[in-house]
Homo-oligomer: A and B are copies of this chain.
Amino acid sequence: MKITVLAVGKLSEAHWRAAAAEYIKRMGGELTVVELPEVSVPRGASAAEIQKAIEKESAAMLARLPRRAYVVGLFVEGKSCSSQALAQKLEQLPLRGFSEVAFLIGGSYGMSAAVKAACHELLSFSPMTFPHQLMRVMLLEQLYRARSIAKGTDYHK
């Protein structure tokens, strides 16, 4: 299974970069992270300006979406699932005709309705809001955990 994470913004803190790098390394060649440019929004920006930034970031994301991938968008209003259920879902994708999956993480202000419409599924990790940099680390950890559940290794216990 080829896994692509499309994420808006850079990991600005060294500790998030180190945490992300550790999980990417453990995944071997299975996982690719594509960082998309974050559009800067000035303090006190209007709702319209924020919407414009979301649209621009989201258009860039849609342009980089792998064509044949099963697309999972991370939205706080998505459906939550256990680590086991996520692992099972990924394992069953080939049976549903997908050999590739893409996970989408928006920037500070989220993703557009067009991105949402392009998703096969909306996934929520938590009803809590996390900074998108930490969210990326949490996603990478869950992908590594899903792989370890599928392979039956000890990590996830």
Contacts and interface: CB of A to CB of B under 8 A. Distances in A.
Interface of A: 13-16, 18-19, 22, 43, 80-83, 86, 108, 125-131, 134, 137-138, 141-142, 145, 154, 156-157
Contact of A138 (B43, B138, B142): B138
A36 to B, nearest CB: 21
A83 B156 contact: no
9 contacts: A13-B22, A14-B18, A18-B18, A19-B19, A86-B128, A130-B138, A130-B142, A134-B138, A138-B138
Given A14-B18, A19-B19, A22-B15, A83 B125 contact: no
Contacts of A142: 128, 130
Contacts of A128: 80-83, 86, 125, 142
Contacts of A14: 15, 18
Contacts of A82: 127-129
A145 B131 CA distance: 10
A127 B15 contact: no
Nearest to A129: B83
A43 B157 CA distance: 11
B19 A127 contact: no
